[in-house]
Amino acid sequence: MLEILRYNEAAQETIEKRLASRNQLDMGEISEKVSGILKKVRENRDEALIEFTEKFDNVKLGREQIKVSNTEIADAIEKIEPGLADAIRKACKNIFAFHEKQREKSWFDINDEGVLLGQLIRPLDTVGVYVPGGTAPLISSLLMSVIPARAAGVRRIIMATPPQKDGSVNPNILFAAKEAGVDEIYRIGGAQAIGALAFGTETVPAVEKICGPGNIYVATAKRMVFGYCGIDIIAGPSEIAVIADDTAVPSFIAADLLSQAEHDPLASSILITDSMLIAMETLSEIEKQVAALERKDIIIESLERYGMIIVVDRIKQAFDIANRIAPEHLELCVRNPFESLGLVKNAGAIFLGNYSSEPVGDYFAGPNHILPTGGTAKFFSPLNVLDFVKRSSVISYNKEALMKNGKDIIRLAECEELTAHANAIKVRLDYLPVHGEENMTLKKEIKKEDLKGDK
């Protein structure tokens, strides 16, 4: 089921080729279909949403049914199983507490010349969250998308999710949406939902940013609407790497590798260890545990295509391999995980110790589980509060500062042969000696205590 590789240069080439092959999909036909859907939504608006919902979801909607009513939401809240409701509320609290710490404040500074510089932080106004609603409704991804936006201070959070076969929306999704802080919910899915959020329709408002996972059609639509609005990261197939020494527990490792493999046949689950005994016992545990799992067909396909157990001579090599892979999830099941943390350069989320199982982060701990995949953890970060704010630079020069620095600015503009830029400074330098200092300078007008950043 899983191949055990002794690490060497040839093994490294095998690892990289196998992982790279997950992203080599023929996008031509998909892109053409998605482009047609988006064009129709942009032109026909609600009419297109109704048409595509009937075509793809086999649900016939009236225009008034596109938006989920408060009555339907209230009914869903009544149906929620109490234990699940409690778990969702606890997860919301943990996720908000974590993301609240990521907030930045506006700041301003005045130097001795009276020049004011600063950065103004403002939340986005309207954000759209896409939530898949198929056989595995992703409540956790809903929380991870909505709560950072709420912590950032986004004024209006709307959600799109496809209807079930009977036309209703999954009640667990509706409950989680209200707990997380969603303002409006729309009964639409697929690429057409992304088009509605990006362009707006008679019923669905256009948003400034779209986030949330989806299938290949949703991901392609998000790529195509980027520029009309912002998007979060384009998430690829899920992946986990576990670094383990002889202190690790094989049954734990096996369970965590299987937890990622059940996502998708393209998911990747990798163990890197310096112990052949741990490698063999983990393989045995995988074969034992997979037999009892509901999604075992998906798991087996994933493990056979993209799963690996890599045995290295020294544990330091395991970190070198992991940094080259830059996995979405990285578990350190080693003797002193905190001491080893400094060896990690590239990973979306890092789990320390035998009891920090990856699903702890997926559902409950607080850090975001919308993470960079496919090696993009080398340059991307998890979804966070800063993805839902914009930063504006603030610049205010007074007369003295412009007189002192104007010639340098002119030289730089003229170096680029942008004479109109240079002229904008020259006219001010010519004006000042004639008109004197009749106006108060910023240095005199503004006090630092008047320029407090946002609380």
| pLDDT value, residue 113 | 86
Q: pLDDT tens digits for 157-184?
A: 999 999 999 999 999 999 999 999 999 9
- Average pLDDT of span 208-234: 93
- Tens digit of pLDDT for each residue in 59-85? 999 999 999 999 999 998 998 999 999
The residue assigned the tokens 């020294």 is: 314
Q: Is 364 exposed, middle or buried (0-12, 13-18, 19+ CB in 10 A)?
A: middle
List for the chain the helix, strand, coil content (%; round to 5). Answer: 50, 15, 35
pLDDT tens digit sequence for 292-315: 999 999 999 999 999 999 999 999
pTM, two decimals, is: 0.89
Tokens read off for 342: 């400094």
Q: Map out the domains of the chain with their CATH numbers.
A: 3-25+236-379 (3.40.50.1980), 45-103+124-231 (3.40.50.1980), 399-450 (no CATH)
Element containing residue 147 per DSSP (H, E) = helix 139-152
- 126-130 and 209-211 beta bridge pairing: parallel
Query: Nearest 10 degrees: CA dihedral of 20, 12, 327, 278?
Result: 130
Predicted confidence (pLDDT) per residue in 433-454, tens digit: 766 555 444 444 555 555 555 5
Give the active site residues: 328-329
pLDDT at position 443 is 45
